[in-house]
Amino acid sequence: MTPKNTLSPYLQGMADGAPFVLVVVPFGLLFGVVSSELGLHVLEAITLSLMVLAGAAQFTGVQLLAEGTPALIALIAALAVNLRMAMYAAALAPHWQGAPLRERAFAAWLVVDQGYACAMLAYEKNPDWSSRQKLRYYVGTVSLICPFWCAFTVIGAVLGTAIPPEYALDFAVPITFLAMIGPMLRTGAHMAAALVAVFASLLLAWMPYSLGLLVAGALGMITGAQVELITRRRGEGRS
């Protein structure tokens, strides 16, 4: 494998992941501010970002604690939100199978929503890539995202409440997930899962400790799986 072939997927991944920096910056700032308001030290905030490296789970845990939720429930909720990383890992693992273990371990630490979304689309478009090229593409997608996330977590924690509320940094959270999920809603199963999850989350907003979101997510996954199963059976029946 020539150096050009080795670097090309990495650079392509970096280019594909770069636009997400625009939302990761305010997202990281907001997390730093929320951490500061909760009373976390700057070192504690950045340690949390480095170890967990999952914005949605971090926000879930920190915001629930800020609302007075018992620590155990906040931890369970954060872990439940982060369970999607296990599904991401299961989908990415076959593509990285032939790459060196240390490279796979490093990439596994960097598994985030944006990188996964970019990678799965790129892998479909480039079926001839080797496992190492696929892995390096993925690392490229997060080469800017993860450092910016951590850096702006620190900036947000340092600035704390000095950032005016009218800046509305929280807009970054829904925009980030819309940008990731939108291109992936390509089948009836995907659309059904998304619609059920959205409506269920609205109907279950009354549940304490934001547990309605967890129930809505589970209902969405069940719906998507059932629609996928029905679609496959119909396809087999026609063949």
Identify the pLDDT of residue 5: 45
Average pLDDT across each block of 10 residues of the chain; the chain has 239 residues. List them in order. Answer: 58 92 83 80 86 80 77 80 81 90 91 90 92 94 93 87 62 59 70 87 82 80 85 74
Output the pLDDT for position 44: 85
> What is the structure's pLDDT at 96?
93
Quote the pLDDT of residue 163: 65
27 vs 21: CA distance, rounded Å:
9
Which pLDDT does position 12 carry in this prediction? 93
- What is the structure's pLDDT at 3? 41
- pLDDT at 145 (0 to 100): 92
